[in-house]
Amino acid sequence: MSHIRGRFQKAAHRLVVDYTSSLSFDRRLYRQDIAGSIAHARMLAKQGIISAKDAGAITGGLAAIEKEIEEGSFKFKPELEDIHMAIEARLTEKIGEAGGRLHTARSRNDQVVLGLRLFTRDAIGDTIEAVRGLQRALVTLAEANKDTVMPGYTHLQRAQPVLLAHHLMAYFEMLQRDIGRLEDCLKRTDVMPLGSGALAGVAYDIDRKFLARELGFGSISRNSMDAVSDRDFVVDYAAAASTCMMHLSRLSEEIILWASVEFAFIELDDAYATGSSIMPQKKNPDVAELIRGKTGRVYGNLMALLTMLKALPLAYNRDLQEDKEALFAAVDTLLPSLEIMAGMVSTIKVKAGQTGEAIERGYILATDLADYLVGKGLAFRAAHEVVARLVNYAAGEGKTLRELNLDEYRRFSPLFTDDVYAITAEASVSARDVPGGTAPRQVARALAVAKKIVGGFESEK
């Protein structure tokens, strides 16, 4: 904490002042600090700890300071160390002795964590809304291309036909889990720590439940030592942000591949691509590449937090000042990544002809051929071997499965008849009509459920 007058005989060294100051980055917590201080002043007056007159002066002064900060006239002084001291010092300048009464029954330890909890609570709400925006973009793109069949991949090798909408909705499900993690994080963030003091509670008749109501918290902390030193909720947000960025990175990788000449499944909108300084033909997926790259930054924020906390004894330690930059960086990376991904997805143009050609070239109906033979009475393992040899033959002849004649089919099994040519990509996806499958009926149901989850769509008639 700061160099308190009275205990020290000399001023802090200039390097110490610069090194320990957090004002350059925690000033963004000014709204949260002021909201907490206004609630605290009202509680002190309600409990008769300070006068109503002083409380009125404090709340009025704090409101004026908030306006000064937002208008840019507030002077941040590095020697005041952090936003909390900066605001309190300015309050005393403005209203005199009454400003010094604000800190009654409060420590900077519980004041700091209160502001951080308020910030994180807001960040969670903003993040959930941004995730919803991306989910809506995915649903819109899926619905606009709900009949498009494409290769599904395993090991980045063409595997089986799937609906593009089914593929896109896989990311919807990932993002839905991200929302679940954020909502779980919110439960642990929504705890009011004020009243914990430095570590042992406070020796005043305060009303913590009143403070919780004033600030919109669902509960109050149960242990004062834990309350001032707990940063689990910050770790929870960074962990949820890391997982969400991982999902964005996976989607980015697919967009990068699909937009390449080799795949050519999609075309990116000009607004979400860049050119080359030397190669006129290039249309680079830089936005997706940057999202993929920035994922590592959020992972780093999480590791910084975990490392900072790993050996801290109770209760407060100055190491905890390192929580804010990591949290702010995670928020400031994830939110714009979600927003720009939603914009990019919403403007993607799908090349259905290219996805259809890819299906023809990849022997992608091999599993359906095996299922066809199973339907004729052959055991699946035997059918699998027959089709494997058939595919090997077709590849050697440079033919697709559709280009093989019936005699060639029957060379590998007499069970093949003319109806083998009824096996198409469309028939393949339609056959997967199980809950969670890629059949059109199942995908339509998934889209309907998704619309209800995210909202913002007109009701189906």
Kindly list the catalytic residues: 155, 276
DSSP of 70-132:
HHT-----GGG-SHHHHHHHHHHHHHGGGGGGTTTT--HHHHHHHHHHHHHHHHHHHHHHHHH
Residue 17 carries which side chain, given as an amino acid letter?
V
Rg (CA), the chain: 30
H, E, C per residue of 351-402: CHHHHHHHHHHCCCCHHHHHHHHHHCCCCHHHHHHHHHHHHHHHHHHCCCHH
Which single residue is written with the structure tokens 């058939």? 390
- Residue from 377, 113, 127, 344 nearest 233 by CA: 113
Residue type, 12: A
End-to-end C-alpha distance for the chain, whole angstroms: 62
d(CA 235, CA 316) in angstroms, rounded, equals 17
On whether the CB atoms of residues 438 and 432 are closer than 8 A, the answer is yes
Integer angstrom CA distances of residue 385 from 98, 166, 248, 321: 87, 29, 39, 63
For 422, counting Cβ atoms within 10 Å of its Cβ (0-12 exposed, 13-18 middle, 19+ buried), the class is exposed
CA–CA distance, 186 with 245 (Å, rounded to integer): 18
Q: Given the DSSP bridges, would you call strands 219-220 and 191-192 parallel, antiparallel or unpaired? A: parallel
On whether the CB atoms of residues 285 and 264 are closer than 8 A, the answer is no
List, as one string, the DSSP characters of 226-279. Answer: HHHH--HHHHHHHHHHHHHHHHHHHHHHHHHHHTSTTT--EE--GGG-B--SS-
* Residue 283 near residue 240 (C-beta atoms within 8 A): no
Query: Residue 324: which of 394, 231, 393, 259 has the closest Cα?
Result: 231
Contact 423, 369 (CB under 8 A): yes
Residue in this structure with the two tokens 């980055």, named with its chain if needed = 25
**Angle at CA of residue 332, ends 76 and 334, nearest 5°:** 165
> Are the CB atoms for 304 and 314 separated by under 8 Å?
no
